[in-house]
């Protein structure tokens, strides 16, 4: 058991994946000698060589397209998109090639690759550096989409994603990179595509993931001071969703509030609300509510605090839910 940041946990997980399987390769802009803009891959090129930790040209479509070829030849490439807003040049490769290969080949060809995407706001960055595009990929059949919220999950989930025989979009909440937590490298990890109850409760369920897990835990602590018990569920996997865990929590509490940074329209919250309404209708004591980013492009950093869901907005939604 050791204490490390999420950034260090991801680094340790990638190091272990490289050491365990010689077919694992890393590629991306500045990930080698520099170690990436967030230093997630720091030291890995020096340890494993330039043939396995590759500084790529500045071209996301080329990075992902090359990884498709490598995966078809038996390698397990892990490619980094430097920032969330830079993924769009590679969007065609991901949704038209990566996601469809197994279906197109009648199951004969898999694409065992991971696309790492630092995402989300709260770091005071400029345009195209704070977006939350996860719904685009969760909407695409053939892709698996996951996101850790803490160092322990980051360490294990990146290894599990690399070991998967299908493509995984791995979203990393960049404003949580430097938050510390306990990591047990000998523990038995949770299954990759499962949700986790972070804080048990009885009055309402907060369904969330990635950067918003900490915010929702803070909301649960604040609510407890007023005698309210909130259950926080970290989804961890956005596609597939762990319906069983979600429904079980909502049936216990009778209320659900979904929290995410991405815009509300057609976001994960909309899908969760539809599934909960369909499967838990008779247990619901209030409508499913959503606390999300607003339906506009990500704003300048000086006003991002007014855009991102925060403690007050989450607690206001809880109040509205409990009022029913």
Q: Which residues are catalytic?
A: 129
Q: How far is CA 112 from the centre of its chain?
A: 18
Angle between helices 268-279 and 243-253 (to 10 degrees): 70
Q: Looking up tokens 């080949």, which residue turns up? A: 105
DSSP 3-state of 54: strand
For the record, the structure tokens of 36 come out as: 């990436």
Residue 95 phi/psi, 5-degree rounding, is: -85, -25
- The DSSP bridge pattern shows strands 76-80 and 114-119 to be parallel
Instruction: Please state whether the peptide bond connecting residue 240 to the residue before it is cis, i.e. omega within 30 degrees of 0.
Output: yes
For residue 220, what are the contacts with CB-CB under 8 A and spacing of at least 6? 199, 201, 206, 230, 231, 232
C-alpha span between 218 and 204 (Å, rounded): 15
Burial class (CB in 10 A: 0-12, 13-18, 19+), 194: middle
Query: Cβ distance 67 to 27 under 8 Å?
Result: yes
Query: Cβ distance 147 to 135 under 8 Å?
Result: no
β-bridge mates for residue 157, sequence order: none
Angle between helices 6-20 and 151-163 (to 10 degrees): 30
């Amino acid at each position: 058991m050791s204490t490390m940041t999420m950034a260090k946990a991801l680094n340790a997980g990638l190091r272990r994946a490289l050491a365990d399987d010689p077919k694992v390769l890393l590629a991306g802009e500045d990930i080698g000698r520099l170690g990436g803009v967030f230093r997630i891959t720091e030291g890995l090129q020096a340890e494993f060589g330039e043939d396995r930790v590759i500084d790529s040209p500045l071209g996301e479509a080329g990075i992902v397209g090359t990884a498709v070829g490598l995966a078809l030849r038996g390698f397990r490439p892990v490619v980094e998109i430097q920032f969330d807003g830079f993924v769009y040049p590679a969007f065609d490769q991901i949704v038209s090639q990566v996601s469809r290969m197994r279906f197109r080949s009648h199951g004969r060809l898999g694409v065992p690759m991971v696309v790492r995407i630092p995402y989300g706001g709260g770091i005071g960055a400029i345009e195209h550096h704070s977006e939350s595009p996860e719904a685009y990929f969760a909407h695409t059949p053939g892709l698996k989409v996951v996101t850790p919220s803490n160092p322990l999950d980051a360490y294990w989930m990146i290894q599990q994603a690399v070991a998967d025989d299908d493509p995984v979009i791995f979203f990393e909440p960049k404003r949580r990179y430097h938050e510390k937590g306990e990591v047990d490298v000998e523990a038995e990890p949770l299954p990759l595509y499962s949700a986790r109850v972070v804080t048990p409760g009885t009055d309402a369920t907060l369904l969330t993931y990635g950067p918003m897990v900490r915010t929702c835990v803070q909301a649960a602590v604040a609510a407890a001071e007023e005698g309210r018990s909130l259950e926080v569920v970290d989804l961890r996997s956005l596609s597939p969703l762990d319906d069983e865990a979600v429904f079980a929590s909502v049936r216990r509490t009778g209320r659900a509030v979904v929290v995410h940074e991405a815009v509300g329209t057609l976001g994960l919250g909309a899908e969760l609300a539809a599934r909960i309404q369909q499967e838990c209708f008779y247990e619901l004591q209030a409508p499913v509510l959503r606390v999300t980013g607003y339906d506009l492009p990500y704003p300048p950093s000086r006003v991002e605090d007014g855009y991102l869901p925060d403690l007050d907005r989450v607690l206001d939604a809880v109040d509205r839910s409990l009022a029913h």
